[in-house]
Amino acid sequence: MGLLPAVKYAGIASACFKVLLFPAYKSTDFEVHRNWLAITHSLPLRQWYYEHTSEWTLDYPPFFAYFEWVLSQFAWLVDKDMLVLSNLEYASPATVYFQRTSVLMSELVLIYALNKYISIRLATPAAYAVAMSVLFSPGFLIIDYIHFQYNSMLFGILILSVAAITEGKMLKGAILYAVLLCFKHIFLYLAPAYFVYLLRAYCLDVSSCRVNTPWKLIRWKESTKLGLSVISVFVIAFGPFIYLGQIQQLVSRLFPFSRGLCHAYWAPNLWALYSAADRVLFTGLKTVLKLQIEDKSSATRGLVQVTSFNVLPDVSPRATFLLTTFYQFVSLIPVLVKPSPEKFVGSLTMCGLTSFLFGWHVHEKAILVAIVPFSLMVLNDRRYLTPYFLLTVSGYVSLFPLIFTSAEAAIKYLYTFGWIFAFYNIFGDLAPVTTKRVFLLDRLARLFLMGFVPMLIFAGVYDQMPMLKQFEFLRLFVVSTYCAVGIVSSFIGLLFVLKCA
């Protein structure tokens, strides 16, 4: 299938702009991936998940490790020194340009996936708008092309999977999702939606079931094909490590539960609001009631560790799991009752969003797991617009602290707000007018979105206010808490719309 002209030219324009960012700021993730190149190239496979010369050990599933190995074969031709394990923090110009180029080339997967999405949507203006909103996402720009990761490729695989399921190619969609899980396990957030939809729409035949013939409920042929296909993907990925007896070690790398409730800076979720409430209560008790309370909270120190609170009860992994499971189950009810591709994408979005809101040690970058599926459904119903823009604006702004260098400040502000202005108007024009907006907080949502301007002005002038220097993480506190209000509001709005749909 050839690329549609609009997608091809948009891809070229996107690539040209992103090439200009090659010399931009890069985070520790750049060194993470350089180290993974060195590990997979320099060591035999049996040592990959044991190597710990660097603190940035290999902690992605095997397919991503194999991907790094493939890249390392080309890296060897560019600069052999980047593949030396002891060359920590190595970043020669050749290394920088090679790694940046690898991200840019991997985006071809996303471009192909968006082309496929447009094709199955019959190349409507709405389909083009959605595809362009994803391709030019500020999230991909900030995380992949400045901060440094490979999310555009991974979300390309996700979109290909969703597109296949939308076309009725269930087996292909399931295989692609299994491949995606073997690249990055964060997509486990979406597993309940996949499991329930494939079970209900592909493996079960409710219409053929009778009280006296319950075995006819199961489509045995389809269930067998699905099970064998998914298992085969995992065997290909994990088989060598099973053979080596390393599964326990691999799992310990993939799921480090010893880390605390909150990541290094608060992801804007329920626990950011919980942490903020604890800090406000603690400050109030000390200043107003003059109580002598020891400050034992670790939530505001920007550290990856077990999180404790001063006033509110500490939160356990079990509590986060139960909350996440409950709200995911609620989102799966429409798929169980009457499955359809539209309801599947809705459940996919809710699974990603609830995992972000209630999960344990959630990374701020995980907001893309909710934003991208939501993008594929936003123009199905005008009522989605307000929750969508609350989520995207809050989610993208919450990524700003990842890029704290002055040279890139103008890029993240201008690019993100240019994207918001453009697609807010485009989506507003293209959303179907047959469905009236009924989200009751539309006007409050607009006021909230306008509130990002003074909030970001405060964050920008924070360093010029000497009296605030003693509050080291106040800026992150303000940004994360404000964005969390927007994302929680989006969750409530989306629940309301899905209930009324």
Between residues 110 and 317, the one the model is more confident about = 110
Do 152 and 92 lie in one domain? The reply is yes
Give the residues across from 262 on adjacent strands. 362
36 and 60 share one domain: yes
Give the domain extent around 239: 197-254
3-class DSSP assignment, residue 268:
coil
Question: Which residue, 494, 145, 136, 144, is CA-closest to 348?
Answer: 494
pLDDT tens for each residue of 227-241: 999 999 999 999 999
What mean pLDDT is predicted for residues 282-306? 62
Give the residue, 301 or 336, on which the prediction is more confident. 336
Q: Does 261 map to a domain?
A: no
Q: In this model, does residue 445 exceed pLDDT 60? A: yes
- 388 with 442, same domain: the answer is yes
Q: Predicted confidence band at 464 (pLDDT cuts at 50, 70, 90)?
A: low
Helix runs in 43-89, H state only: 62-78
pLDDT of amino acid 437: 54
Domain boundary among 134, 164, 187: 187
The pLDDT of residue 293: 63
| Mean pLDDT across 270-275 | 89
Residue 275 pLDDT grade (very low, low, confident, very high; cuts 50, 70, 90):
confident
323 & 361 share domain: yes
Q: How would residue 300 be classed by pLDDT, with cut points 50, 70 and 90?
A: very low
CB within 8 Å of 132: residues ≥ 6 apart: 10
Q: Which residue has the higher pLDDT, 409 or 195?
A: 195
pLDDT above 70 (res 476): yes
Answer yes or no: is pLDDT of 299 > 60.
Answer: no
CB 458 within 8 A of CB 464: no
Domain edge (last residue) among 134, 160, 187: 187
What pLDDT was estimated at residue 264?
52
Q: Which two tokens stand for residue 284?
A: 């109030």
Question: Are both 68 and 142 inside the same structural domain?
Answer: yes
Does residue 276 form part of some domain?
A: no
Supply the mean pLDDT for the chain. 88
Q: In whole angstroms, what is the distance from residue 448 CA to residue 387 CA?
A: 12
DSSP secondary structure letters along 398-464: TTGGG---HHHHHHHHHHHHHHHHHHHHHHHHHS-TTS----TTHHHHHHHHHTHHHHHHHHHHGGG
pLDDT for 3-61, tens place per residue?
788 888 898 999 999 999 999 888 899 999 999 999 999 999 999 999 999 989 999 99
Calpha distance 239→355 (Å, rounded): 29
Enumerate the β-bridge partners of residue 362: 262
Sequence-ordered list of residues with C-beta below 8 angstroms from that of 190, at least 6 positions apart, any chain: 158, 177, 348, 351, 352, 369, 373
Q: Say if residues 262 and 275 touch (Cβ distance below 8 Å).
A: yes
Tell whether 259 is covered by a domain: no
Is 262 domain-assigned? Answer: no
487: pLDDT confidence band, cut at 50, 70 and 90? very high
Within-domain flag for 302: no
* Statement to judge: residues 29 and 130 lie in one domain: yes
Q: What is the pLDDT of residue 303?
A: 47
Number of structural domains the chain divides into: 3
**Is the Cβ–Cβ distance between 413 and 396 less than 8 Å?**
no
Q: How far is residue 344's CA from residue 373's CA, in Å, rounded to a whole number?
A: 10
Q: Are residues 129 and 210 in the same domain?
A: no
Judged by DSSP in three states, 204 sits in strand
Specify whether 244 is located in the same domain as 333: no
Please check whether residues 246 and 114 belong to one and the same domain.
Answer: no
Mean pLDDT of 65-92: 95
**One domain, residues 61 and 112:** yes
What single-letter DSSP state applies at residue 81? G
CA dihedral of 393, 363, 350, 149, whole degrees rounded to 10 = 80
For residue 348, the model assigns a pLDDT of 96
Residue 312, pLDDT score: 86
Is 269 part of a structural domain of the chain? no
Q: With 90 as the cut, is the pLDDT of residue 297 above it?
A: no
Who has greater pLDDT, 305 or 378?
378
My answer on whether 146 and 220 are in the same domain is no
Q: What's the CA gap between 242 and 108, in Å, rounded?
A: 32
CA distance 389 to 133: 12
Confidence of residue 134 (pLDDT cuts 50, 70, 90): very high
pLDDT above 90 coverage of the chain, percent: 64
Which one is predicted more confidently, 263 or 164?
Answer: 164
Residue 18 to residue 11: CA distance in whole angstroms: 10
Tens digit of each residue's pLDDT (9 = 90 or more) over 400-432? 988 888 888 889 999 999 999 999 999 988 887
